[in-house]
Amino acid sequence: MLYPLKFKPIHKTKLWGGSKLSRYYRHDAGELTQVGETWDVSGVEGSESEVENGFLAGNTLNELVEVYMGDLVGDAVYSRFGDQFPLLVKLIDSAQHLSIQVHPNDEIAAERHNMSGKTEMWYVLDAEPGAFLVAGFCCPMDKTTYLQLVAENRLEEVLQKHPVSKGDLFFIPAGCVHSIGAGCVLLEIQQTSDLTYRIYDYNRLDSDGQLRELHTDLAIDAIDFEHWQNNKIVPADVHNDVVKVVECDYFVSNIIKVDKPQEYDLAPIDSFVLLTVLEGHVKCEFDDDYITLVDGETMLIPAEMTSLLLIPTGEVKLLEVYVKSE
């Protein structure tokens, strides 16, 4: 019988990374510095998550998908994605600005790289005063104007910058020009892909004193100039119910606020469920066992599980993510 799974975080050092993931989210990075990301649920080749709880501890997520198939991920999900776990969960700490970038859609990614595209969403867990995210352009844009601005090193002038604070939500579809500004800690849910085109990097030098590579030629056909604007999502503030945040071809995400024990019914969902604590502390009881989650932690609930009991300590805010049946 499968059970809710927690995984060992995979630490990724970045030029722009900081130390908050170790300090605030119990992710021991050891001697590593500038940890920009932890990959908390990953099936990406070479960065496969390893189970840390229960009798399956030590197995990778990819091994479990191969063995348990639809029982783990859901029959419809397994039929669509096979042995590839379809989503990647990250925590991100931006001590400096990330580069301005764009991700290609599935069609471009498959044609050029034999990979999936990358659509994602962000939930801001923490933000310093003055922190911002970039999502889209601040005015209508076309290829000719865009290339001229890039050539003149003026791309910053037309980026849509959003001041952010804790709890802000953004959906970033493939083709949307975007970036994370300095001073943000956020949760990212995305397609299983590590494919990024860098289009501007604040003229920053790498550790060797060189300008980092830009992908202007690759990016120009990947940018969605038609849908140039992108705004934050403002979900309804409802307790002890499910509030939809994002529904796209790759995932559904919902906010759940819980302030009393309640049964968590999973029977209608033919998919694994990723449950992340955004704020608080919750005990999840199932069969004769339980698992606890604190803020910033994610667990994977296998598709074959139909329910568990959520017991919050005070008020808890959760993000529920799954793949919808087509």
What secondary structure letter does DSSP report for 207? Answer: T
pLDDT of residue 326: 66
Write down the residue that tokens 């975080």 correspond to: 9
* Residue 198 designated active-site: yes
Q: 23, 26, 112, 198: which one is catalytic? A: 198
In 3D, which of 49, 31, 193 has the Cα closest to residue 109? 193
Q: Give the integer Cα–Cα distance in Å for 256 and 317.
A: 6
What's the CATH fold of domain 10-220? Jelly Rolls (2.60.120)
CATH superfamily, domain at 242-322: Jelly Rolls (2.60.120.10)
User: Which residues 6+ apart lie within 8 Å of 279 measured at CB?
Assistant: 295, 315, 316, 317
pLDDT in tens, the chain (326 residues): 899 999 999 999 998 999 998 877 766 777 788 999 999 999 999 999 999 999 999 999 999 999 999 999 999 999 999 999 999 999 999 999 999 999 999 999 999 999 999 999 999 999 999 999 999 999 999 999 999 999 999 999 999 999 999 999 999 999 999 999 999 999 999 999 999 999 999 888 777 888 888 999 999 999 999 999 999 999 988 888 899 999 999 999 999 999 999 999 999 999 999 999 999 999 999 999 999 999 999 999 999 999 999 999 999 999 999 998 76
SS (H, E, C) 48-80: ECEECCCCCCCCEHHHHHHHHCHHHHCHHHHHH
What secondary structure letter does DSSP report for 234? Answer: -
Residue 267 buriedness (CB in 10 A; 0-12 / 13-18 / 19+): exposed
Q: Which two tokens stand for residue 307?
A: 């329910």
pLDDT of residue 26: 63
Where in the chain is CATH 2.60.120.10? 10-220, 242-322
In 3D, which of 13, 85, 15, 7 has the Cα closest to residue 45? 85
Q: Which two tokens stand for residue 205?
A: 């030098």
Write down the residue that tokens 């722009």 correspond to: 16
What secondary structure letter does DSSP report for 129? Answer: T
* CB 256, CB 93: distance < 8 Å: no
Residue 215 buriedness (CB in 10 A; 0-12 / 13-18 / 19+): middle
Find residue 211's DSSP bridge partners.
Answer: 205
pLDDT of residue 108: 97
* CB 203, CB 210: distance < 8 Å: no
What secondary structure letter does DSSP report for 155? Answer: G
Residue 152 buriedness (CB in 10 A; 0-12 / 13-18 / 19+): exposed
Write down the residue that tokens 């005015």 correspond to: 139
pLDDT of residue 241: 87
In 3D, which of 171, 322, 163 has the Cα closest to residue 235? 171
